[in-house]
Structure 1
Amino acid sequence: MGRIFYLDAVNGNDENSGIAPDAALKSLEAANQILFGAGDKLLLKCGCEWKGMLCPHGDGDRFQFAQIGTYGDGEAPLIDGNGAYAAILLDGVSYWKVKGLRICNHSSERCVRQGICISAKSEGITAGIEISDCEIFEVDGENRRAMPVYQSMYWNGAVYVTFPGRTSAQDHLHDIIISNNYIHDVRTSGIRVNQQEDFINDIHHTHVVVRGNRIERTGSDGIIVANCISPLIDSNICFDAGALGTLEDTQLIAGIWVCATRDALIQRNEVARTRMFENDGTAFDTDWGTAGTTVFQYNYSHDNEGGFWLDCMKLNHNRDCEKTILRYNISMRDGRGIAVYDQGILTEWYGNLFFHEKPIQICSFDEGENFYFDHNVFCIPQETDWQKAHYEENIVNDSQWLELIQYETQNPNWRDHVTEKLCKFVGVTR
């Protein structure tokens, strides 16, 4: 059994022991002086608010995590970073859980700024961090793309996970889970995983899971995961990525994308209304430095201004990049077309439904010669430009599928029903 420390912004006192509700500490500064160990908890009183940065010290262990949580009744406790680098900074610590807090980081000036930041130690493996059930909003960070390196929008997020330098097989993050958080109205990206120095062949973070988060109205991208082996991006909702951005500042974004990953799996997500500024603006993206096979499956995408999927696999090309598979996805009214660019690497499409009310191009800007479409359903105008992709056993403007599409917003089980039909069409069981 670990110790429990209590923090009460109203009735606490930093002269107290902190080990009982009626002897609670008061300030974040007092909490930052504690050396936590396995099984220890820091509980913040509901209804209270703090300004500044919480930066706990010490490690839990794999059997007993250290934890930051809540106690009492009322609204979840709030930490406003008040312009600090982060509202919560987990700096070089392992085996911590953060759950159930409200987080913001207000400032009148833009710069790289986080809601919750996980920063690994520079040597060895930093392991076992879980961020769950938090509300993170109004993080006044950076959403300008054309800034000096390390000062641009790619270096901050509502939840930002990073390594200080370059990773290796011996030095990286392991077992990082970001789940069931509500992120909204942030000038930054929603969730970002990377290393501070981005090199395309540094693919070392392991067991990184981004699951069940709801992200609405960001200043730049929704979710970006980089430098990871087999990351899982599952069951997230990403609405209105880029809604707080501008053409001049933000320039290029996507809803959910990966770069410098190996064998990433992106599944069961819903992405809608991603903004398109200078270009891009797609729901999904396989970007620079990806290796192995990237899979997008069972996703629901609609009304994204730039299209369904962006192909950037040959930017800073990783020689181990094999292909992207897109299967059992539903794309409704997604902008310019089904894909943006064809960068010469194999892309397999099967069991997907594509619906467009206006004529589109299958592949914007290129001919799509490296795209293989097999057993997909296209409900699109006859004027669509099919280009030079490879097509086999696809259905085009079938009356039964056109009728089924009409129930998109009326039947709560519509997505599951459509996905089952797509799988059956391909000949697999979901």
Structure 2
Amino acid sequence: MHPFRTTLTVLPLVAAAVLVAAPPAAAANTTYYVDCSATAAGSGTQASPWNSFAPVNSRTFTSGDQILIRRGTTCAGQQLWPKGSGSAGAPNIVDAYGTGAKPILAGNGAVDDVVKLYNQQYWEIRNLDISNQGAAPAARRGVHIIRENSGTGTYYRVTGVDVHDINGVQNKKDDNASAGIFFEVLGNSVQTKFDDVVIADNTVRAVDRYGIHFWTRWMTRPELANPNCGSTCGAWHPQTRVVVRGNTVTDIGGDAIVVHHTQGALVERNRVDGFRMRDTNCAAGVWGWNVNDTLFQFNEVSGGRSTCDGQGFDLDEGNIRTIYQYNYSHDNEGGFILLCNGGGSTTKDNIVRYNISQNDRGDLVDLICGKITNTKIYNNVFYVGQNARIINNTNGSTGANAEFYNNIFYVTSTGSSYVNAGSLLWNSNTFYGQHPAGEPTDPAKSTADPLLVGPGTATSISNAGGYRLRAGSPALASGQVMTNPGSRDFFGGAVTAGCRPDRGAHQLTTTCVPGGGVVSRTGWSVRYVDSQETAAENGAATNAFDGDISTIWHTKYTGGSDPAPHEIQINMGASYSVSGLRYLPRQDGGSGAANGRIGQYEVYVSTDGTNWGTAVATGTFANDASQKDVRFTAKTGQYLRLRAVSEVAGNPWTSAAEIYALN
């Protein structure tokens, strides 16, 4: 999401609510009945139900109380705002009773929020039909649950509710926004948050601007350089134990499901179809802003409008350790996923794996705004049946930002392209069908038919079997071993750590094929290098393991060149069983592209960095820019030494874009 936010507005209605005198308390563990079709007001019993929400709103309910609304009836132009809170094991409940259709709560634009809670906790809201359509757009919600300067509120359940037809303000985002279901934290004097929230099995349709929305003013932290709360900000205090599961969200003016400012949220098994339908702001389908450890899985997202974002998913500003897995994205005009960190913010250590994208258009993988860090995109299938920029890298990202492994790009469209994809890190991907301009190089690229069962034929997340691999596929057991592959593939098949995976989203191979996993380079340092150029360019030895293939280690040439052989010794920070070395020559073009390309080489592994023994591997690299893998009998050690005996053209230099240890 482009990191431009609107100005905050004050909520006078909420602020005024603090001044309301406490209403009378209701009896504990009592069930109260509402029938808006009853002619008499009644006493709240089933035999004599209330016929409006006025008596409900005037009472403070206590632990275990229930408010039941008669099915088949309509309560028009009213707000439901019961007071009080339940307790652990005895929540208060709003539900339906009787037979027939869910009770209709039609706000008709006469109220801002049809169902509201304010500084309350331990509530369940179930089985209601809620709408709030007014004569003209205004700030409106279906279910609006608010906390303000009141500490932690615990236990909220919104289930089986149908929210629809809310003509809210289309272009007002963030707080005081319009939404179907909205959890909002206000104030900045007492740290406040929601905890233990489940929004499950609801339908939200024809709503402006958000479908399901979380927001707080307690958002500021070093990872977020662009908070949108002005002087009302508070220090980072995220919502916790948030689950958004099994909801159907359709025809949404802006964003469909957003879990902003959360820690460890789980968003799964939701169906989204049709978002950014009317809003003029950019919008995506399912995502979070300023979040930690969010898991998005088993969601199906389609129908995103426009290329003002318009992707099904989004790794946005302040995303730390977000995972998108086992999702199905299709027919989104904007693409599959947006990678958009705000300038100066931190978005890092994210994973996108075992997803399927079918006929997404626009920018399939869109790298814009500020650069992300260490995002791994692996074992996905991209079926490109309509023209798209398959990779759109317009912010200068390199391999330190996004890495692509074991994906299948199945391209049948003739007008697609890759934009600046070559600066990213690629390994063991399959590019089949059409080969658009800008297709990246890949040291383990396959262009063979991956033998998918029926690509392009998925009709839903549960009917995507066309992306299974067939026996004899060249994609079988040919992928890069991933450090954190997860436990299963898109279809539920087991994925075993340490084994060479199949490419794509289906793990057909069940026998473990040991493979060359890449040893983590976190904590790597240079123990010794005999030569490096630091005057005419940044040719520091540390560039050989910085994750950026556009930077290189280059031996000295200013004021005279140091003679070959050259060597670099690397402290890997811990002891590993090392069975290989990967050398990526410099990847730039021009007349000097081959300068320093290693010819003859020697590889050593040591436990102490002093006693190296004999070389574990020797040989001569081919004279090209492709990635070189050297295999040898595993040796345990903490130190890795690459000795460049010669350069391919006999020059005195040595250079390297990246060096890896393999296990």
Q: Does 1:305 align with 2:305?
A: no
Match in the other structure for 2:151: 124
The 5 A counterparts of 1:16-415 are 16-19=42-45, 21-51=46-76, 52-83=78-109, 84-145=111-172, 150=175, 155-166=177-188, 170-196=191-217, 199=220, 200=224, 202-243=236-277, 245=278, 249-276=279-306, 279-290=308-319, 292-315=320-343, 317-318=345-346, 321-342=347-368, 343-357=371-385, 358=387, 360-369=389-398, 370-381=401-412, 384-385=417-418, 386-397=421-432, 398-409=448-459, 413-415=463-465
- Indicate if the aligned counterparts of 2:453 and 2:465 stay in contact, CA closer than 8 A: no
Q: Distance in 2 between matches of 1:352 and 1:165?
A: 42
Q: Distance in 2 between matches of 1:237 and 1:157?
A: 17
1:335 corresponds to which letter in structure 2? R
For residues 179-231 of structure 1, the C-alpha deviation after alignment (integer angstroms, 9 at most, x for no partner) is 11011111221000011575446242110111110001011110111111111
1:373 corresponds to which letter in structure 2? F
Q: TM-score, normalised by structure 2?
A: 0.59
| Segment drifting more, 108-117 vs 54-63 | 108-117
- Indicate if the aligned counterparts of 1:70 and 1:100 stay in contact, CA closer than 8 A: yes
- Indicate if the aligned counterparts of 1:323 and 1:346 stay in contact, CA closer than 8 A: yes
Larger radius of gyration: 2
How far apart are 1:171 and its partner, in Å? 2.3
For residues 228-266 of structure 1, the C-alpha deviation after alignment (integer angstroms, 9 at most, x for no partner) is 1111111111101122x0xxx523000111001111111
Q: Distance in 1 between matches of 2:372 and 2:206?
A: 37
Q: CA RMSD in A?
A: 2.6
Q: Distance in 1 between matches of 2:242 and 2:175?
A: 22
2:264 corresponds to which letter in structure 1? S
User: Structure 1 residues 349, 281: closer, same or farther in 2, change over 3 A?
Assistant: same
User: Structure 1 residues 359, 8: closer, same or farther in 2, change over 3 A?
Assistant: closer
- Indicate if the aligned counterparts of 1:359 and 1:380 stay in contact, CA closer than 8 A: no
- Indicate if the aligned counterparts of 2:324 and 2:351 stay in contact, CA closer than 8 A: yes
Q: Does 1:13 align with 2:40?
A: yes
- Indicate if the aligned counterparts of 2:211 and 2:252 stay in contact, CA closer than 8 A: yes
How far apart are 1:415 and its partner, in Å? 4.9
User: Structure 1 residues 8, 288: closer, same or farther in 2, change over 3 A?
Assistant: same
Q: Distance in 1 between matches of 2:259 and 2:170?
A: 17
1:86 corresponds to which letter in structure 2? D
SS in 2 for 1:64: coil
Q: Distance in 2 between matches of 1:270 and 1:158?
A: 19
How far apart are 1:73 and its partner, in Å? 1.1
- Indicate if the aligned counterparts of 2:238 and 2:262 stay in contact, CA closer than 8 A: yes
Structure 1: 5+ residue stretches without partners: none
How far apart are 1:296 and its partner, in Å? 0.5
How far apart are 1:156 and its partner, in Å? 2.3
User: Structure 1 residues 415, 267: closer, same or farther in 2, change over 3 A?
Assistant: farther
| Segment drifting more, 128-137 vs 394-403 | 394-403
Over the matched positions of the two proteins, sequence identity in percent amounts to 26
How far apart are 1:384 and its partner, in Å? 3.4
SS in 1 for 2:351: strand
For residues 391-426 of structure 1, the C-alpha deviation after alignment (integer angstroms, 9 at most, x for no partner) is 111122243445421432399542597424795526
| Segment drifting more, 399-408 vs 258-267 | 399-408
Q: Distance in 1 between matches of 2:509 and 2:306?
A: 36
User: Structure 1 residues 196, 158: closer, same or farther in 2, change over 3 A?
Assistant: farther
For residues 351-391 of structure 1, the C-alpha deviation after alignment (integer angstroms, 9 at most, x for no partner) is 10011023533125345422111111110258632432211
- Indicate if the aligned counterparts of 2:453 and 2:466 stay in contact, CA closer than 8 A: no
Q: TM-score, normalised by structure 1?
A: 0.89
Q: Distance in 1 between matches of 2:91 and 2:249?
A: 27
Structure number with higher relative contact order (C-alpha < 8 Å, ≥ 6 residues apart): 1
The aligned length equals 414
